[in-house]
Structure 1
Amino acid sequence: MSARVVVVGGGPGGYESALVAAQLGAEVAVVDRDGLGGAAVLTDCVPSKTLISTADFMSRFFAAKGLGVQLAGSPEPGEIARADLPTVNERVKSLARAQSDDVASGLERHGVRILRGTGRLDGPQRVVADLLDGGQETLDADVVLLATGARPRELDTAQPDGERILTWQQLYDLPDLPEHVVVVGSGVTGAELAHAYLGLGSAVTLVSSRDRVLPGEDADAAQVIEDVFRRRGMTVLNRSRAASVTRTGDGVVVELTDGRRVEGSHAVMAVGSVPNTAGIGLEESGVALTPSGHVQVDGVSRTSARGVYAAGDCTGVLPLASVAAMQGRIAMFHSLGDAVQPLNLRAVAANIFTDPEIATVGWSGPALEQAGIAAETVMLPLATNARAKMQNVHDGFVKLFARAGTGIVMGGVVVAPRASELVFSIALAVQTKLTVDQVAASFTVYPSMSGSIAEAARQLHTRAF
């Protein structure tokens, strides 16, 4: 008899686990409320990166002069290109819907049953699905995978209204381009959305409670982004914490804790997220939660309840779609008896879609120092890279960390256009424990941005390992 697998939630952790379970011969059902792909596809990653892609495309017009290109019929810089926001937003939502449909079609091709509704546990190996059509179905399972995701955190003093005070999930129905966006929060989401609206033509103020934007990222990389933001006209308020956000008819006022007021047409709240774990029978079924409400999991995605696994943002492990998907796959490999290795967070590649992008993988410099691991570092500015010069790229760098004595690549940072693509070579080196000599011995195209990665590896060889 085939194993019965029930997945609660259709985001990356859910649909990837369902695909693996189906491929391993299980009988699989997915209970999903909002649409396959979850927030990552419908309201977060896919929409925001599509918006950013539009802003980045617009920036090419403004950069044309530096490449010797003159655009006819554009006497004023502001007339070169304009964003028609309703059209932009319709494209964003259309792409999200198409991606969601593709995910659903992929599951159906593999024989996965999809139930539209909300799932809750009724014991560790039983899921009750409250269906959107008003019905209810009870699903007994050998394995349950929780992938319920998270939602934007809301402040009592800054309640979103979907019109002027917005979460990152409420951006795509705006009728016009905001005149002045105040972004509260300078983490990854805040920095990306600030970059997007600046590129689309809005005035942007970024309110950061820390000393710099992107406080959790490589300090050199964050400094590059902050410098670029300021140079392009963004107002960045460091060490400035928002106390409240209120609507003023056709605008907003952000009150800072030091008494200052920032006025704008819209406010975007990017102050973290809250796991969707309340009220679905988890603790009653023996699933332990952390004080923050996240599901506790081990390296193979097991919870404290027999036969129950969890993946994605509801676990609080690392809020990345790629990590959620890997957690889901690992859960199914483990629960269905296939070969599996625990989740390796030291090999995770991540990207911030600003301009330039910031891509990281493996150990960071501070983490190596804190762990007492002796390492050598090389950082090469892109300003010396021939391809970067050809493309008029002035900002960015490549940084590699290698273990002293062996030269094994421990991690890296790439700040560059399309850094998300460039970092893969470093990710391979980290995952397979390549040495800098092995990286340096691999051919790169000349001229290319990736040549700087090989050059950094060559420079690390000159250090006395």
Structure 2
Amino acid sequence: MSKYDIIVLGSGPGGYVTAIRASQLGFKTAIIEKESLGGVCLNWGCIPTKALLKSAEVFNYLNHAEDYGLKAEKVDKDFDAVVKRSRDVAGGMSKGVQFLMKKNKIDVINGFGKLKSGKKIEVKDKDGNTKDYQADHIVVATGARSRELPNLPQDGEKVIGYREAMSLKKQPKKMIVVGSGAIGVEFAHFYNTMGTEVTIVEFLPNLVPLEDEEVSKQFEKSFKKSGIKVMTNSSVESVDTSGDGVKAKVKTKKGEETLEADIVLSAVGIKTNIEKIGLEDLGIKTDKDKIVVNEWYQTNVPGIYAIGDVVAGPALAHVASAEGIICVEKIKGMKVEALDYGNIPGCTYATPEIASVGLTEKQAKEQGYDIKIGKFPFSASGKASAAGKKEGFVKVIYDAKYGEWLGCHMIGAGVTDMIAEAVVARKLETTGHEILKAVHPHPTMSEAVMEATAAAYDEVIHI
């Protein structure tokens, strides 16, 4: 039986980062993966969707070339080629993880892993053969998959999840997207830009409902302007796939109506991959579809840990990576700091992009803060005007008494690359006055952060 210091079950951005950090710390490390290295994020999530969205952005630029004084005639798309580029990007990233495994001398074990007593994992390969492996420490990082609702069962053809949406053989003429979280709105934007007639159905009152309400309203306005039909306070009650397409019964405040489409994309959240991996056999505690862990990701069973989508917290790649690093550094005995879940950036890569960190205005008020709020519209930004990207704004929220940066909410072009300023500043306990007096380069989109802060302190100049 092969023996390791650390075995990681799952090779997504949580798992493979955990394995690399463990190897760096001198642990003999192995990683178990049933499919492709990189997990959902690299193969079917974060990375390939961004490739699709980039193709949509270029296509949109070409269709609006005249806005920039240019001419592009006979602009068309090759849907198959767009999908192929996305898959090629994903394939390249997975190969990159393979290289990192070799570089860091991590053994890759292919197959489905199941926890056993005695800190062992049984791995069944594609041919059905099994082999046991043992480790002093086992880290569960098995991730999650698209969640299915009882009234919206996925058949992989007419009612699909994000995985199928990424590799359709044919572009649908009409699509219904159920759910307006990041996954739903990113695919809605992509298919709408490619020419599909898209309808979004959202149960809650606002699109991207976890965002600040002003951001949600601006986003809905932008989506409607782009031609996407938005139905909030609505729910899909049932689907009929017996005909050529799909008929979805949608319950709204005004009553019930039937929508017809070629495909329904279910984007109503995720389901953790915690079944059949031996949790029950070992008595590992779970709660509401999550593995219960402490702040260092230790389960109730000594030597077994869990990180990423399978534990409570935001189901985000960068969160899983951070958790994995903290986990193995704690195992090593290093002095580590628990992850601050109140300072995790969230990003949505549709057009316009959304990025946020910290408290929304509503949350800050509910927590009893006396707040200062500043907003700066990109319509007043020289860089945004030059780029033809004047949509959106930056909104900042500060504690009026101490100047603590409580929240930052952005919507507009490139804001997912701007949010890190707020994350780092909040980590360093930077005050509003310090942001205001830190010279930001001009002309940039990022100076809108300083301008919004100036607005909060009644010192704004450019609006």
Aligned to 2:155: 161
Structure 2 Cα separation of the partners of residues 66 and 246 of structure 1? 43
1:374 aligns with 2:370: yes
What aligned pairs does 1:16-35 form with structure 2 within 5 A after superposition?
16-35=17-36
Structure 2 Cα separation of the partners of residues 436 and 109 of structure 1? 43
Aligned to 1:269: 266
Q: Deviations over 1:343-372 (max 9, x none)?
A: 111211110111110000122222222222
1:59 aligns with 2:53: no
Q: TM-score, normalised by structure 2?
A: 0.94
Aligned to 1:304: 300
1:95 is matched with which residue: 89, 92, 107? 89
Cα contact 1:283–1:289 (8 A) shared by 2: no
1:182 aligns with 2:176: yes
Unmatched tracts of structure 2, length 5 or more? none
1:67 deviates by 2.9
1:248 deviates by 4.1
Check 1:386–1:243 CA distance in 2 against 1; reply closer, same or farther (3 A cut): same
Q: Deviations over 1:194-234 (max 9, x none)?
A: 11111111110111112121111111111111111111111
Aligned to 1:120: 114
Aligned-pair identity in percent equals 28
Structure 1 Cα separation of the partners of residues 168 and 397 of structure 2? 44
1:333 aligns with 2:334: no
Structure 2 Cα separation of the partners of residues 430 and 245 of structure 1? 46
Aligned to 1:434: 430
1:124 deviates by 6.3
Aligned to 2:223: 229
Check 1:3–1:435 CA distance in 2 against 1; reply closer, same or farther (3 A cut): farther
Structure 1 Cα separation of the partners of residues 342 and 167 of structure 2? 38
Cα contact 1:124–1:305 (8 A) shared by 2: no
Aligned-partner residue type, residue 147 of structure 1: A
Structure 1 Cα separation of the partners of residues 246 and 312 of structure 2? 32
Aligned-partner residue type, residue 408 of structure 2: G
Aligned to 1:77: none
1:327 deviates by 0.8
Cα contact 1:382–1:395 (8 A) shared by 2: yes
DSSP-derived class of the 1:12 partner: coil
Aligned-partner residue type, residue 53 of structure 2: I
Aligned to 2:201: 207
Aligned-partner residue type, residue 145 of structure 2: R
Aligned-partner residue type, residue 397 of structure 2: F
| Stretches (4+) displaced over 4 A | none
Aligned to 1:403: 399
Unmatched tracts of structure 1, length 5 or more? 75-80
Aligned-partner residue type, residue 16 of structure 2: Y
Check 1:239–1:447 CA distance in 2 against 1; reply closer, same or farther (3 A cut): same
1:155 deviates by 2.5
1:5 deviates by 0.2
Structure 2 Cα separation of the partners of residues 28 and 364 of structure 1? 41
Structure 1 Cα separation of the partners of residues 70 and 320 of structure 2? 44
1:21 deviates by 0.5
Q: TM-score, normalised by structure 1?
A: 0.94
Aligned to 2:386: 390
Cα contact 2:119–2:137 (8 A) shared by 1: yes
Structure 1 Cα separation of the partners of residues 339 and 136 of structure 2? 22
Structure 1 Cα separation of the partners of residues 4 and 435 of structure 2? 44
1:324 is matched with which residue: 300, 320, 324? 320
2:138 is matched with which residue: 141, 144, 153? 144
Report how many aligned residue pairs link the two structures. 454
Check 1:273–1:124 CA distance in 2 against 1; reply closer, same or farther (3 A cut): farther
Structure 2 Cα separation of the partners of residues 442 and 365 of structure 1? 24
